[in-house]
Copies of this chain bind each other. A is one copy, B any other.
């Protein structure tokens, strides 16, 4: 199933940008009258019929809107230190999108080998993965932020920090913490009245920088911190704990950063898949 992406959805029609139009018309040979599926990146899939098959500016009339298409019942922000080898981080971005993620915040930690991160390639990869995996909500890849700055933000919901060293704080297993959290009937971390209503202007107005944006404010919100190749330092871990992050481990294996990140995404995915 081929789906198209656009943020130009207005009333009764969807307009494809130049690249998507070329793909639809020149490569897939769609013509006026053909039915196509279009997602808007906010969770909506639109059954459409092509009314204008221009290869640079295709237009389709909306026949039906399907909200929450391919959605997952939780909001996950993965705050991960980008790896020195950027391919590995890009691999994580793709896999996280396939499984289910809402935001990826690149973190610069004390021991990060990669201290400069440009999000453009990851944003392309995430867009491509969204389409390929038949989802309609585009995960946000934020600009990189130093850990201390990230920790100074107010973040709703369940907050976890994964690290490898044996410190003062006792680390629980991520599956145990998710099991405890999911039985709670309160404290799901709603983000209040500034929740996004599903279009770009509202999202910007909400000033939503912490990565959680949901049309359903009651769904569980989870933020998971994954450290760099050299792990978080004890000082960083203590700071996170003081800001409400629960120390967790990801089982007995010694995982690379990007593997740990995908494992955490998978733990959340499998947890909510069985509820």
Contacts and interface: CB of A to CB of B under 8 A. Distances in A.
Contacts of A98: 253-256, 259
Interface in A62-91: 70, 72, 91
B256 A132 contact: yes
A99 B259 CA distance: 8
Nearest to A255: B98
A201 to B, nearest CB: 30
Contacts of A188: none
A99 B175 contact: no
Contacts of A72: 252-253
Nearest to A251: B273
A175 B270 contact: yes
A253 B176 contact: no
A255 B95 CA distance: 8
Report copies per complex: 2
| Chain A interface extent, by class | 20 to 34
A209 interface: no
Interface in A125-176: 132-135, 173-176
Interface in A221-275: 251-256, 259, 262-263, 266-267, 269-270, 273-274
A100 interface: yes
A263 to B, nearest CB: 6
Given A91-B91, A100-B253, A263-B266, 9 more contacts: A70-B253, A95-B259, A95-B262, A98-B254, A133-B253, A251-B269, A263-B269, A266-B270, A267-B270
Contact of A262 (B70, B174, B262): B262
A78 to B, nearest CB: 15
Contacts of A95: 259, 262
Given A253-B72, A263-B99, A273 B173 contact: yes
